[in-house]
Homo-oligomer: A and B are copies of this chain.
Amino acid sequence: VRWEERRFVVQGPKLLGEALNAGVVPDAVYLDAAGSNHTCRTLAERARDHGTEVFELAAGVLARASDEVNPQPVAAVVPMVDVPLVSLAEPIPSVLLVCVAVQDPGNAGTVVRSAAASGVGAVIFCAGAVDIFNPKAVRASAGAVFHVPIVAGPGPAEVLGQLGDWGFTRLATVARGGRDYATVDLGSPTALVLGSETHGLPDSLTDRLDGRVTIPMASSSESLNVAMAATILCFEAARRGRADRPGEAGAGPPR
């Protein structure tokens, strides 16, 4: 019901704190009567100050409703934080990521975490990729889903066509045979397109893009997962941004 209701669940004080810090007002906060500590209760009070309903549940109820190995003593239902694709048109971000078929929620969350930490402008999860608002992905993002614009849902053809119309250079990230990412121009708006963990990107899609980039590896036996690849690409964009603006503090590609 996540998308029908346009609501998702955040578990634990760290993620709830990130949501509140980002100005997200939960519909409801649930506290475990036995397990919740001062931090959890303070967060619940912060939410209540914005009109959120706070429910105290009998010990263990929250744990049984959780998919976590180590259940958290606080959880919240929050409104979906995705943005429409068209919102990326103005201002155009310098660099964004497009996840075509990333399947693993841990990888998806890490991609978002790297994007937020590096200052990349947005992450698009196409139809066919894992739901970035599932609890495992939200947890892997360390709350970064609240700190970077996320587009969820449109099909790859629609996304890549639209980005092309807006003038993005759309680069397929491929395991081998592409241009060294370190030599690719990232100065004009660039969309870095990531495929699935096991199959990469289909040729039918790659052929319609503007180029291919590869992260060179020490030997052909080595590999990177999609989260590591995204991390490398995001921070290369950030490094270039700093090199272009030597006086400025902070990370981030040019905006």
Contact = CB atoms under 8 A, between A and B. Distances in A.
A113 B221 CA distance: 11
How many copies the complex holds: the figure is 2
A23 interface: no
A209 interface: no
Nearest to A228: B231
Given A228-B110, A231-B228, A218 B251 contact: yes
Interface stretch (A2-10, A33-41, A154-162, A232-240): A232-240
Given A21-B221, A116-B222, A224-B117, A216 B238 contact: yes
Interface in A185-234: 215-219, 221-225, 227-228, 231-232
A113 B228 contact: yes
A216 B250 contact: yes
Given A218-B252, A232-B231, A238-B218, A223 B182 contact: no
Nearest to A114: B228
B180 A223 contact: no
A243 B243 CA distance: 16
A243 B217 CA distance: 14
12 contacts: A113-B228, A117-B228, A118-B217, A118-B218, A142-B223, A180-B242, A182-B242, A216-B238, A216-B251, A218-B252, A224-B231, A227-B228
